[in-house]
Amino acid sequence: MNQTCELPALPHAPIPAASLDPPPPAAAREAVAVLAGGCFWCVEAVFRELEGVLGVRAGYCGGSTDSASYEAVCSGTTDHAEAIEIRHDPQRIRFAQLLRVFFAVAHDPTQRDGQGNDRGRQYRSAIFCADATQHQIARSYIDQLDAAGVFAAPIATELLPLRRFHPAEACHQDYAARHPQQPYIALVAAPKVAKLQAQFGSWLKPGAARGVRA
């Protein structure tokens, strides 16, 4: 990650809720969403704060090889993206709500193949859809936001099938919480968490957003 990475131009107000947001099956108690939005340290820092999120792992997804490592992905030769795997209780927070946070505060979805000064396919914006329902919800929401002109440019987020998620090395897990004073975390992750608090305060876990401070 580039230590001088600039903050993306995010919306100044909460974006609208997704028009397509079907209720989950009554028996569903755990689901998975895999999202890529630049540096996985910073995206993970946002989603770990949300009520209903059971766990978040940093990793790599969408590449052309059967294995992935930080060194290989950063080389740009595997086409993997830095991504996060979100395990969540869909009765408490639904996929469409996770996407609302993803587009509103986690990253700038109008940037193609990068975020700020972090450039390359490994930093692209992508939603890795586990099934047809996730794809339908994501496609509908992107079309809704583009039609409403929420962002100054069209959304560049790719919709891709979820095939395999490779967990990142242990040193990358919960990185922002463990290194709140690291310059990149203070510059990029902490302001995103602050935006989450301001825009989605009622969605946070009790006592959340205390571990990442500028």
Would you please indicate which residues are annotated as catalytic (active-site) residues? Answer: 39
Alpha-carbon dihedral sign for residues 206, 212, 213, 214: negative
**CA atoms of 156 and 159, how far apart (whole Å):** 10
Find the helix or strand (DSSP H, E) in which 125 lies.
Answer: strand 125-129
Residue by residue, DSSP assigns 26-90 as TT---EEEEEEES-HHHHHHHHTTBTTEEEEEEEEES-SSS---HHHHHTTSS--EEEEEEEE-T
**CA atoms of 124 and 111, how far apart (whole Å):** 8
Question: In Å, what is the CA distance from 192 to each residue of 9, 69, 197?
Answer: 11, 26, 9
Pairing of strands 81-88, 31-37: antiparallel
